Amino acid sequence: MSNPTTIAAEVAERVKLVIFDVDGVLTEAGIYVGSTPDGGSLELKRFDIQDGLGVKMLVWADLKVALVSGRQSEATSIRALELNVECYQVPDAKKLPVVEALIQKHGVSWEEVAMLADDIPDLSVFRKVGLKAAVSTATKPVLDIADWIASKPGGRGAAREFSDALLSARSQLDDIIELYVEERSRL
């Protein structure tokens, strides 16, 4: 794409599956680590509420959505359940086989997959997808090949910005917003 701040309609309309990395994309790439009173380990993550609504909007637009993380985290599992999306947490960040299985499961091609990414563990998948989107805080190898770059950082609105841009390019954003407002206006 010539302009990394817009998504071409013909590219957006091909998308059937959207992959989100988690750490650095849906979070700020930090974790809070501690322990419980009984000595168990505790990990907390901060997820942006507006990002979450953006993910839900993609689901409402009948797109398949999956979180694919290179780290095992109960916080990520809980967030995926809240968003009603698939969640895969891959040891050693071996994401490619997981996404290949998702592509087969959903009967889509690489050209029909979009990914929002931030770092080198994402590159094995990112290089193959039809729509490569990056958060503003992504590393240089990701930014260098991104088709679209958010103006916002990971965990601070980038996922919502991407969701809005994708739905807008598909001419679905206004309808999804109106559907949301209408459904929440009923008594």
What is the per-residue DSSP string for 97-123? HHHHHHHHHHT--GGGEEEEE-SGGGH
**Average pLDDT, integer, range 21-25:** 98
pTM: 0.95
Sign of CA dihedral 185, 66, 54, 148: negative
Angstrom distance (rounded) from CA 48 to CA 46 = 7
Look at 186 and 179; give whichever has higher pLDDT.
Answer: 179
Kindly state which CATH superfamily the domain 9-185 is placed in.
Answer: HAD superfamily/HAD-like (3.40.50.1000)
Average pLDDT, the chain: 96
Residue 136 DSSP one-character state: T
**Average pLDDT, integer, range 72-78:** 95
**Residue 1: pLDDT band with limits 50, 70, 90:** very low
CA 141 to the chain's CA centroid: 18
Q: Check pLDDT > 70 for residue 2.
A: no
**Average pLDDT, integer, range 21-43:** 95
The whole-number pLDDT of residue 141 equals 98
Element (H, E) at 76: helix 74-83
All residues at 6 or more sequence positions from 151 whose CB lies less than 8 Å from its CB, including other chains: 5, 136, 161
User: Which is nearest to 153 in space by CA: 68, 48, 32?
Assistant: 48
pLDDT in tens, 99-135: 999 999 999 999 999 999 999 999 999 999 999 999 9
Sign of CA dihedral 78, 71, 114, 142: positive
User: For the chain, what are the domain ranges?
Assistant: 9-185
Element (H, E) at 87: strand 86-89
